[in-house]
Amino acid sequence: MTVDLKLRSSRIVTPNGIISGCLRIRSGKIAQLTEGLTDDREYSDCEVLELGDDLVVPGFVDLHVHGGGGHDVMNGADSVIGLAEFLAQQGTTSFFATTDTVAKEQMLASIRGIAAAVEAQQEGEGAEILGIHLEGPFLNVRQKGAFLPETLLDCSWEVMQELEEACGGYLRRVTIAPEIEGALDLIRALSSRGFLVSGGHTAASYEATMAGIRAGISVVTHMYNAMQGLHHRNPGAVGAYLTSGDVVCEIIGDLFHVHPAAIQLVLQSKGLDHVYMISDAIVAAGLSPGVYDFAGRQITVDERGLSTLSDGTIAGSTFFMKHAFKNLIDALGVSIENAVKLTAEVPAKVAGVFDRKGSLEPGKDADITVLGPDYQVKLCLTNGRVHYGA
Residue in 54, 62, 254, 280 annotated catalytic: 280
Geometric angle at alpha carbon 239, from 238 and 242, rounded to 5°: 85
Closest CA to 134 of 174, 192, 74: 174
Calpha distance 249→378 (Å, rounded): 29
Name residue 56's beta-bridge partners.
12, 370
Return the SS3 of 252. strand
CB within 8 A of 207, min separation 6: which ones?
Answer: none
293, 299 Cβ separation under 8 angstroms: yes
CA distance 174 to 165: 14
Which bin fits 14, alpha (ψ -120 to 50), beta or left (φ > 0)? beta
Alpha-carbon distance of 286 to 289, in angstroms, equals 9
Contact status, residue 292 vs residue 227, Cβ threshold 8 Å: no
Contact 294, 146 (CB under 8 A): yes
CA distances to 21, 55, 118, 390 from 51, in Å: 11, 8, 32, 18
Q: Say how far residue 345 (Cα) sits from the centre of its chain.
A: 12
Rounded CA gap, 294 and 72, in Å? Answer: 9
β-strand 196-199 against 219-220: which pairing, if any?
parallel
Measured CA to CA in angstroms, residue 129 lies from 115, 126, 150, 357 at distances of: 10, 9, 29, 13
State yes or no: is 280 an active-site residue: yes
Nearest residue to 138 via CA among 158, 155, 163, 157: 155
Sign of CA dihedral 322, 325, 329, 335: negative
Cα–Cα dist 371/377, whole Å = 5
Q: Which residues does the annotation mark as catalytic?
A: 280
